[in-house]
Structure 1
Amino acid sequence: MIKGLFETHINVSNYETSARFYEKLLNIIPLHEDHIRKSKFYWVGKAGESMLGIRENYSSKDVQRQHFAFRVELEDIVNARNYLNELGIESSNFFGNSSEELTVFPFMPAVSIYFDDPDGHSVEFIAMLDEKPRPELNLMSWKDWNQLHGK
């Protein structure tokens, strides 16, 4: 009876630097900091629904690139790109190209934007689209998706 993803924890090289980065993002609510374990925890969106944990060199001295996504509303996806730009955070589409042309995942369907945190973890803002899933289609630009759907 899984109802969603509750928490994600990532290794970071410096939890204080990463904390400053994540605290810039909208709806990241500080929850708990453990100076001894060099970790910090955040509610994402609404308290009690989703949590992100950052831990400095947790169980390994190595930081391995990981990926996770924050769900956003469709009307906020372009605002998210502009917000990241204002923060000086470079963003891209799925293919690593300019975020001016976002990518749609027709099998869901959803549109997203990508950026990296200070340790190079791949972070994504993703918004579900109102149309029916189209698993027979390949990834495409949001512009092409909208043209396909008469928008």
Structure 2
Amino acid sequence: MIKGLFETHINVSNYEKSSSFYEKLLNIIPLYEDRVRKSKFYWVGKPGESMLGIRENYPSPLVQRQHFAFRVDVEDIIHANDYLKALGIESTNFYGDSPEELMVFPFMPAVSIYFDDPDGHSIELIAMLNDEPRTELEIMSWKDWNQLHTK
């Protein structure tokens, strides 16, 4: 029985530069570094629950843009833009617009913020909302979602 996603590995152009980037992020805990293979592994959140691996030029020097999301709490999403900005990381909402207006995916429901790593990999911080899923609704702003749920 599948319980969730355990690990994600991405190819990077410079593992030391990428290591520096990922180590700035909240709850990214260095686990193991293999200098010979130019790779590094991290626990994401609680050790033993989820892992991220980065490896330079593997299997080739071509780096294909990937996407992955880190689960966070709603309270973290509220401050995520300021947190990322303080780290010198630009962020956007789902549509690539200002992160000041975060978007909700009603089918889940969840709210998220996006940013890129040094190789252009798309990273998402996503928080599940404590509301019932609304599959009939399109993606909407968090403000509109909250107004819908306060009526």
TM-score (norm 1): 0.98
Structure 2 Cα separation of the partners of residues 87 and 78 of structure 1: 16
Shift, 1:37, TM fit: 0.5
Q: How does 1:124-135 map to 2 (within 5 A)?
A: 124-135=124-135
Residue 81 of structure 2 is aligned to residue 88 of structure 1: no
Shift, 1:80, TM fit: 1.6
1:138 match = 138
Structure 1 Cα separation of the partners of residues 80 and 32 of structure 2: 26
Percent sequence identity over matched residues?
Answer: 79
2:78 match = 78
Shift, 1:139, TM fit: 0.3
Alignment partner of 2:58: what SS? Answer: coil
Ranges in structure 1 where 5+ consecutive residues have no aligned partner: none
Residue 124 of structure 2 is aligned to residue 111 of structure 1: no
Shift, 1:2, TM fit: 0.4
Shift, 1:60, TM fit: 1.6
Structure 2 Cα separation of the partners of residues 81 and 58 of structure 1: 31
Residues 39-82 of structure 1: CA deviation (Å, up to 9, x unaligned): 00000000000000000011122000000000000111021211
Deviation larger for 80-89 or 64-73: 80-89
Ranges in structure 2 where 5+ consecutive residues have no aligned partner: none
Residue 40 of structure 2 is aligned to residue 40 of structure 1: yes
1:54 match = 54
Letter in 1 for 2:107: F
Shift, 1:32, TM fit: 0.2
Question: Between Structure 1 and Structure 2, how many residues are aligned?
Answer: 151
Structure 1 Cα separation of the partners of residues 67 and 24 of structure 2: 19
2:19 match = 19
Shift, 1:106, TM fit: 0.3
Alignment partner of 2:98: what SS? Answer: coil
